[in-house]
Structure 1
């Protein structure tokens, strides 16, 4: 499931969007009728944003290979790091210290930045149900029920840089469907002598899509199963720490059972401030049929971000692992012992934020062994965000994606392949306007 930055939550006020408040009198006149007693006072907030960008890509595919045009393309996209959205939420005090509320958040966008490719530069409109939540906030913690973030969500995305709109933790959200072009193959091919017959070369140069690797298939930050239907509990602050647990389901048939636990903290440290997050999720997948459980997927890891108050320099580190036992079919596929059971994401970002108006960063991230052992998808990039007000961002960034695979050998050992791929270069600039 595709994931983006945290939606409006708690009091429905975050940096991702502005709000429009309606008084109780106005609501009674035209929107919602409520009792006038203080105990039933209702506050409704409406907000959202539009986030559009231009994305330049050089991906190695040219007319001689796919017949889709040059190896450079320009795309007009909705920035999926923080997509166009609309939200409405309400809170109501029940008794002293007890508040009930609800939030609905819907993404409404066209040409998502992780969907376009040379064959489809216009992907049409899309409606994405992001959050449908009801909650009860008490002195003993907060209970949330509905579609939304699990307890570990974003534990690996703690970040003080202020550049998330362009340099987000999940690199595949900009350019995710673009594919790495396979370099000329003959120098990478060898067949052992006196062994017949050799297997068919699966890396068919005449059919690049037959062995394609996309940015999304190369690198991923493993964000703890994304948003799903769940019940979630967040503890009151215990010192600087909040502990969260959740249980729910995901999947097209609602058959994936998900349990999560997360710990988050924001605290003052010598010289500045620090954000810390750690999480664990376990998803039991019923992939064969309703009576036969598939392998469990365990995701664990976290992040830390430090901000130096005097200089505005900040440093962010993240590490998240995804472990999934191979199915019998995967363990005995065409290539011998090359499927991966443990994907590993690692990330570092150095930022500079001298004030609330300007933010810069340089970052590097990699995912190892996502699909096959000894493969690596990596990204190196820079970003800049200009925020003259809380409701407006102008941004620009550039990044280079690379993909590497070790030599693959067929099960018999007759033939081995060492594919090499062209890098993908992306330059993106855009505007985010909130309301």
Structure 2
């Protein structure tokens, strides 16, 4: 975590070498456990029949349990080399549990495996880690990120919205004549299934991946970054290019953080000898752009944070013609505002609202409204609590044949979380 009080820091200096060979090693990490109380109306078939409340004992993925080891060594005046390895140890992840799986298998995940050289001309990093645009949309002075993080799906993401009994479908014959309305059956309920993760997303520029990254020295108040890499994850990305800008500066009455990011991730076919899509006019690139701004007022501790991220992805031929995917969205939009109060380093409060429009289909909105509090009596310990309400709306959508049009309505999901983070 980087502070002398929270890490075991060991400085090793050679007895016979020049000072240029001095090395510093850093070992540390944290454990972050929480209890979630959920009211979601969940039941078999996602149709809202059965128990609606659950308790979960989880690892808080807003800032998960992790362990890291790193080291730096001075090469010459102004030049430093180093490496960092960080592993996440997730036991019952807060974004994986649901009523059918209150306990899930633990997960060991590579977060960072980096080597770097830092010089007066900038910093070059190679390995698995953050791209140049990563977290430019997550800058935040509130001090409540452990409970009110920018990605709302990290707490409760696998929980599904229950369909209300008022949901219905409109039916038409092959000539387009309206024939009446019907209730959803079990299978059609599944076609309208949506989880928190499926409804809201903050589009954080492809996450961590294998890349080479360059960060400029500070140019006035600005640092510029660029990276190139690849990731063969679930989205099928093969190459990722990113650019980012971050700035911290003093402004009247306080200070401000500014971040801007842009990325292009190219999708490839599963087989190397095939094109991405049978239609050569389909653009294989996913473009993500946006950023965040956070202002802190020094005299009062009040702060405000804004974020806006867009993600553009052209539909494939299969998605354009599929029975249930024909109305998929090509532009997802995330918007976020947080109002915070941090009178001292020991206390932090916030209220926040976020929404993602057209995450899956056109004319839909996933939103969250919540609040959080963090008490930090020391640098090594945080006690926190928060509450939030997730909502989801989807406009009428029709199958590609036009003979069935769905009008789903969903119950809100309410989550209260309290926990503790201990750093070492």
Q: How high is the TM-score relative to the length of structure 1?
A: 0.90
Paired residue for 2:40, among 41, 59, 63? 59
Unmatched segments (≥5 aa) in structure 2: 278-283
Q: Which structure 2 residues correspond to residues 196-235 of structure 1 after superposition, within 5 A? A: 203-205=184-186, 208-235=189-216
Counterparts of 2:184 and 2:210, CA distance in 1: 40
Deviation at residue 173 of structure 1 after TM alignment: 0.2
Paired residue secondary structure (1:353): strand
Counterparts of 2:95 and 2:179, CA distance in 1: 38
- The number of residue pairs the alignment matches comes to 415
Cα distance change of structure 1 residues 62 and 217 upon mapping to structure 2, 3 Å threshold: closer
Q: Higher mean Cα deviation, 121-130 or 286-295?
A: 286-295
Paired residue secondary structure (1:433): strand
Contact kept, 8 Å, 1:141 with 1:233, in 2: the verdict is: yes
Cα distance change of structure 1 residues 417 and 62 upon mapping to structure 2, 3 Å threshold: closer
Cα distance change of structure 1 residues 68 and 376 upon mapping to structure 2, 3 Å threshold: closer
The alignment status of 1:190 with 2:170, answered yes or no, reads: yes
Q: Which structure 2 residues correspond to residues 396-411 of structure 1 after superposition, within 5 A? A: 396-411=385-400
Deviation at residue 337 of structure 1 after TM alignment: 5.4
Map of 2:347 onto structure 1: 358
Counterparts of 2:183 and 2:200, CA distance in 1: 22
Paired residue for 1:47, among 25, 28, 41? 28
Structure number having the greater strand percentage? 2
Q: Which structure 2 residues correspond to residues 276-291 of structure 1 after superposition, within 5 A? A: 276-291=258-273
Deviation at residue 14 of structure 1 after TM alignment: 6.0
Paired residue secondary structure (1:330): helix
Q: Which structure 2 residues correspond to residues 36-185 of structure 1 after superposition, within 5 A? A: 36-62=17-43, 70-185=51-166
Map of 2:307 onto structure 1: 318
Contact kept, 8 Å, 1:152 with 1:260, in 2: the verdict is: yes
Instruction: Map Cα deviations across residues 160-196 of structure 1 (whole Å, 9 max, x no partner).
Output: 000000000000000000000011156x332347747
Map of 1:304 onto structure 2: 293
Contact kept, 8 Å, 1:204 with 1:210, in 2: the verdict is: no
Counterparts of 1:96 and 1:202, CA distance in 2: 73
Cα distance change of structure 1 residues 202 and 224 upon mapping to structure 2, 3 Å threshold: farther
Cα distance change of structure 1 residues 165 and 14 upon mapping to structure 2, 3 Å threshold: farther
Deviation at residue 24 of structure 1 after TM alignment: 1.5
Map of 2:220 onto structure 1: 239
Cα distance change of structure 1 residues 145 and 199 upon mapping to structure 2, 3 Å threshold: farther
